[in-house]
Structure 1
Amino acid sequence: MVATSSWEAALAKAAGARNVRPIVPPSIRHAPDYDLKPSDLTAVAGADDVLYASFEPFAGRIKSAAGSKAKMVELDLDDDPETTRANVTRLGKLFGTERAAAQWNSAFTTEWNSLSRQLKAARTGGKAPVVVAQAFTAWAAKLAGVQVAGTYGPDAVTPAQLSALSAKKPAFVLDNENMSTGTVLPGSEARQLEIVNYPGADLDLLSVYRKAADQMRKAFAGS
């Protein structure tokens, strides 16, 4: 089985799949920018299942390389817990590993609830901080149990957006490390946290949530 990135591969692993090969190396910061190699296309051509996301610019080449043999599985990539569980359930049915997928989803829900409780306990004075978030890091705010006062991206922040977001007086900016363009609110006192959406080489999807929770817990406790 071939997956375009570590994200799709991690979802497949969570669903109970084995021997999943991600094409884009996990070390690549922004997977959609990756330039496919001939060896990547050869791997796709020999795969039975290919997992991909529509926003990846090379999706068309992946489909062409797969031809009529491989089963193309398009996934909606978002670390929101409902989306993650739905993807794992869907892949479990596809692979015939429903039991493994259900067990992972149960463990994920337990982990999510535990991390959420820890984050709420870490708030200074028990008050939820005001945050603004990049379009694809709103899930982190949900994990922390805080309201998003405003969002930006994936396009560059315009002067009007900068003014509007700064006016919210956020304590934190939950930026997307995989798409970061630098300081989001220059001149603001908001502390910027770089949230990662993609799993690492171990394809451990839970590590994404744990890392984000650790970042926010430390930041909230020190605010």
Structure 2
Amino acid sequence: MKLKKSLLLVVLLLISSLIVFGCTKSVTNTPAVQENPSDQLSIVASTSWTALIAEAATGESVDVIAPVELRHPPEYDFKPSDIVAVQEADWVILAGYEGFMKKILESNSIDEEKTIQIRTTNTYDHLVAQTRVIAEKLGTLEIQQSWENEFTNVMNSILEQAENKEISQTKVLVHMHMADFVRSLGFEVLEVYGAEELSPAKIGELSKLNPDLIIDNYHNPQGIAIAEVSGVARVELRNFPGPQHKSIIELVTDNATILGLY
């Protein structure tokens, strides 16, 4: 009886040892869990303008379809690699007027759920509103709020300069695509031009309004003849950020600097 008990005890000890050894071997061979780099958002934007708005909203690096160096990015003709970039992106940001984006989206059955269309106007209210739209979709509201606080401080500084320089008394002719920004700063806008090619008669008519300044559009300048006829200064502002702009705030402050307000 004692012998049977002893044999049973030995068997139990052997089984226990095998179980422990097996478990130990399993644990030591399990690879360590690592962070997945693909957790980072993959965002593609149509132009530098939509890209920097998206970066402000998310804090993420955003890939751009139309080359930043282009003077008028909406006229870009896309490449096959651009289609792949849009297909593989988690999110696609666009403004809606980019013909090349419309072709890519419609021809390749891109999921509408991952596209976000925003309004591209460089006024304080619109930029804040559009960054919030993106941030709500992508869950980056805290990042957007931090950016918004910085942008608010910058705009307050610009508007303070505008008030100190009494720009409400500065009469301007402004290109249609710069009109909202210029009005938001407080300039007196005599008339907006650029909806169509300016005829000699229209150039003469605008010149007779006696503007103090002509605020033109870098991407499609049409005020050169008006400046020559009226003999007043002309400046060009940008809507689409260039290679020198690392943020949408930099673009706004550059435009404000050209106007003597930053």
- Give 1:156 shift: 1.8
- Aligned pair 1:103/2:146, yes or no? yes
State the TM-score, normalizing by the size of structure 1. Answer: 0.88
Q: Is the 8 A contact 1:135 1:151 kept in 2?
A: yes
Give deviations 1:111-135, integer Å, cap 9, x for gaps.
1110122234346xx7721101111
Q: Is the 8 A contact 2:135 2:141 kept in 1?
A: yes
Match of 2:224 among 177, 183, 193: 183
Provide the rounded CA distance (Å) in 2 between the counterparts of 1:166 and 1:96.
Answer: 50
Provide the rounded CA distance (Å) in 2 between the counterparts of 1:178 and 1:127.
Answer: 26
Match of 1:115 among 158, 176, 186: 158
Q: Is the 8 A contact 2:175 2:216 kept in 1?
A: yes
Provide the rounded CA distance (Å) in 2 between the counterparts of 1:17 and 1:63.
Answer: 25
Provide the rounded CA distance (Å) in 2 between the counterparts of 1:161 and 1:108.
Answer: 38
- Give 1:181 shift: 4.1
- Give 1:194 shift: 0.4
Q: Is the 8 A contact 1:171 1:189 kept in 2?
A: no
State the TM-score, normalizing by the size of structure 2. Answer: 0.75
| 1:30-69 aligned within 5 A | 30-64=72-106, 67-69=109-111
AA at the equivalent of 2:175: Q
Q: Highest relative contact order (Cα 8 Å, sep 6+), 1 or 2?
A: 1
1:221 corresponds to: none
Larger Rg: 2
Q: Is the 8 A contact 1:135 1:153 kept in 2?
A: yes
Quote the sequence identity (%): 27
Q: Structure 2: which 5+ residue stretches go unaligned?
A: 1-42
2:14 corresponds to: none
Match of 1:88 among 108, 113, 131: 131
Q: Is the 8 A contact 1:6 1:203 kept in 2?
A: no
1:2 corresponds to: 44
**Secondary structure, aligned partner of 2:177:** coil
